[in-house]
């Protein structure tokens, strides 16, 4: 069909294009597909990569003599902490290994801040009249849902290729002491795949904040999840914050959810030694010790930090073709039409697709009609409202490759049809 940008077509040409797209769409509907690009879950093949865990640990007695079957060891198994501290650029005493979910650790952290305040707080956050968080958008829906649950007000700022719009962040935090924190997925962010640069990380850790206890929730969920041979390094936020005189500002989170088993991995919390001691003190009111058997079997399975990197290369081999299928479909079908832009992530789990403003919900509705489930419109924004109705998060990790391609055929057809409808309206 005509490869010119749709905006250059005459009304007659556009009407012909719309008719063509309607027919193409109807043909896809007739196929009765049932496909899903909604959640960033690892595929079964990816989970298979970690089945070695099921035969570990070889002995439940850890190298340091700890009987991992018993209570105790609140900070987690030392062996897995050593491996992950190296990967995250922290010292072992700056990192705690916990249960299977880092998201739960984020919620616990907010709860501790809420009920008791942080190491540098004047009072618990629940005593403040309002608490606000800076939220780079588009972002991770569950971060926003969590803030909503606390009644924390969300202040969106744009997420750029090199990290959050730091001028916007600095302006929001400078004079308003109610702005207590911000989210950031520093490496291969959800959903844009952007990585925060060293320069932006420096600004974020050094910027003046009206709140003395301002926190960066540094959610490094995709630290090691490279899709290309260029293994992007995350800025060393804890050292930067320390050098800037704000040592307690970053709270670091990570997990093995998309490294080993999404439902049975290990979550991590890290930060200054004071933050770690603070965290353990609060944790001790509700825990005697984490699942150290799981910690030990993970440490044995990986062997070392290098072992984790080698393991991630196996994930890459399974994921990269799925991302290539998304990229190829978008380029082939939409590349010349001027109705969409999208990210080309070098890592992580998502592609962020921006369609013509005002058409994202229509695209998602059309896709549903053709049997393809997409993440609901607005999901990547606070309150689930995308003010431009433009953003769609694509998650190609879970379906088999041929299903990713089949789903993308539908997605691109729906983008074209919705664009034609919009331009004719
Ligand atoms: N943070 C981000 C940015 C994520 O995308 C995800 C999972 N989709 C999580 C956290 C959840 O991590 P966990 O499984 O460790 O709770």
Same domain, 86 and 194: yes
- Statement: residue 102 has pLDDT above 70: yes
Pick the atom of ligand 1 nearest to 140's CA: 3
Q: Is the CB of 190 under 6 A from ligand 1?
A: yes
Which pLDDT belongs to residue 371? 98
Look at residues 267, 285, 303 and tell me which one is the last residue of a structural domain.
303
CA of 102 to the centre of ligand 1 (A): 7
- Statement: residue 2 has pLDDT above 80: no
Same domain, 182 and 316: no
Same domain, 289 and 331: no
Full-model pTM: 0.97
Picking from 2-11, 284-293, 336-345, which range would have the lowest pLDDT averaged per residue? 2-11
Same domain, 114 and 259: yes
pLDDT tens digits along 372-391: 999 999 999 999 999 999 99
Tell whether 55 is covered by a domain. no
Same domain, 217 and 294: yes
- Can you say whether the dihedral through the CA atoms of 208, 210, 211, 217 is positive or negative? negative
Pick the atom of ligand 1 nearest to 41's CA: 8
In sequence order, what are the residues at sequence separation of 6 or more whose Cβ sits closer than 8 angstroms to the Cβ of residue 416?
17, 21, 24, 333, 334, 337, 339
Q: Is the CB of 380 under 6 A from ligand 1?
A: no
Tell whether 54 is covered by a domain. no
Measured CA to CA, the distance from residue 244 to residue 152 in angstroms comes to 27
The CATH number of the domain where 106 resides is what? 3.40.640.10
Tell whether 56 is covered by a domain. no
Same domain, 197 and 329: no
Q: Give the model's confidence band at 39: pLDDT under 50 very low, under 70 low, under 90 confident, else very high.
A: confident
SS3 annotation, the chain: CCCCCHHHCCHHHHHHHHHHHHHHHHHHHHCCCCEECCCCCCCHHHHHCCHHHHHCCCCCECCCCCECCCCCCCCCCHHHHHHHHHHHCCCHHHEEECCCCHHHHHHHHHHHHHHHCCCCCCCCHHHCCCCEEEEEECCCHHHHHHHHHHCCEEEEEEEECCEECHHHHHHHHHHCCCEEEEEECCCCCCCCCCCCCHHHHHHHHHCCCCCCCCEEEEECCCCCCECCCCCCCCCCHHHHHHHCCCCCCEEEEEECCCCCCCCCCCEEEECCHHHHHHHHHHHCCCCCCCCHHHHHHHHHHHCCHHHHHHHHHHHHHHHHHHHHHHHHHHHHHHCCCCCEEECCCCECCCEEEEECCCCHHHHHHHHHHCCEECCCCCCCCHHHCCCCCCEEEECCCCCCHHHHHHHHHHHHHHHHHHHHHHHHC
β-strand pairing of 179-184 with 132-137: parallel
Which pLDDT belongs to residue 3? 81
**Residue whose CA lies nearest to ligand 1 atom number 11:** 103
Tell whether 41 is covered by a domain. yes
Task: Kindly report the average pLDDT of the chain as a whole number.
Answer: 97
Same domain, 234 and 365: no
Closest CA to 165 of 134, 206, 132: 134
Same domain, 236 and 318: no
Q: Is the CB of 219 under 6 A from ligand 1?
A: yes
Same domain, 137 and 267: yes
- For helices 305-334 and 78-88, the axis angle rounded to 10 degrees is 50
Tell whether 59 is covered by a domain. no
CA of 255 to the centre of ligand 1 (A): 8
Same domain, 299 and 163: yes
Instruction: Give the bridge partners for 134, in sequence order.
Output: 155, 182
Cβ-in-10-Å burial (0-12, 13-18, 19+) of 131 comes to: buried
CA of 220 to the centre of ligand 1 (A): 9
pLDDT tens digits along 202-243: 999 999 999 999 999 999 999 999 999 999 999 999 999 999
Look at residues 288, 303, 318 and tell me which one is the last residue of a structural domain.
303
Same domain, 84 and 224: yes
Look at residues 276, 303, 330 and tell me which one is the last residue of a structural domain.
303
**Residue whose CA lies nearest to ligand 1 atom number 4:** 221
Same domain, 159 and 120: yes
Q: Is the CB of 101 under 6 A from ligand 1?
A: yes
pLDDT tens digits along 142-159: 999 999 999 999 999 999
Percent pLDDT > 70 in the chain is 100
**Domain boundaries, position 97:** 68-303
């Amino acid at each position: 069909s005509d490869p010119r940008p749709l905006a250059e077509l005459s009304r007659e040409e556009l009407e012909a294009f719309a008719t063509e797209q309607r027919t193409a769409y109807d043909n896809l509907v007739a196929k009765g597909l049932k496909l899903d690009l909604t959640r960033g879950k690892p595929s079964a093949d990816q989970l298979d990569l970690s089945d070695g865990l099921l035969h570990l640990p070889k002995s439940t007695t850890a190298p340091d003599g700890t009987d991992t079957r018993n209570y105790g060891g609140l900070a987690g198994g030392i062996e897995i902490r050593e491996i992950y501290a190296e990967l995250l650029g922290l010292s072992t005493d700056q990192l705690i290994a916990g249960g299977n979910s880092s998201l739960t650790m984020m919620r616990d952290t907010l709860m501790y801040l809420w009920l008791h305040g942080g190491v540098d707080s004047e009072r618990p956050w629940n005593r403040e009249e309002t608490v606000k968080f800076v939220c780079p958008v588009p972002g991770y829906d569950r971060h926003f849902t969590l803030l909503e649950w606390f009644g924390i007000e969300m202040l969106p700022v744009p997420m750029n290729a090199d990290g959050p719009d730091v001028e916007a962040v600095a302006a929001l935090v400078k004079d308003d002491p109610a702005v207590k924190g911000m989210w950031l997925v520093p490496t291969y962010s959800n959903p844009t795949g952007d990585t925060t640069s060293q320069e932006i990380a420096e600004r974020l850790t050094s910027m003046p904040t009206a709140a003395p206890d301002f926190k960066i929730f540094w959610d490094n969920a995709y630290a090691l999840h490279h899709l290309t041979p260029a293994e992007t390094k995350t800025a060393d936020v804890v050292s930067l914050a320390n050098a800037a005189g704000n040592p307690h500002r970053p709270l670091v989170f990570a997990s093995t959810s998309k490294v080993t088993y999404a439902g049975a991995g290990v979550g991590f919390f890290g930060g200054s030694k004071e933050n770690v001691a603070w965290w353990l003190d609060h944790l001790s009111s509700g825990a005697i010790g984490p699942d150290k058997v799981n910690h030990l079997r993970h440490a044995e399975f990986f062997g070392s930090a290098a072992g984790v990197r080698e393991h991630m290369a196996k994930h890459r081999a399974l994921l990269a073709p799925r991302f290539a299928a998304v990229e190829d479909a978008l380029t082939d079908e939409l590349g010349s039409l001027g109705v969409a832009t999208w990210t080309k992530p070098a890592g992580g789990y998502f592609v962020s697709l921006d369609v013509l403003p005002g058409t994202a919900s229509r695209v998602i509705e059309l896709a549903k009609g053709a049997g393809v489930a997409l993440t609901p419109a607005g999901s990547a924004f606070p309150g689930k409202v995308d003010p431009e109705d433009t953003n769609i998060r694509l998650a190609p990790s879970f379906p088999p490759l041929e299903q990713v391609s089949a789903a993308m055929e539908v997605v691109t057809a729906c983008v074209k049809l919705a664009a034609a409808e919009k331009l004719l309206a």
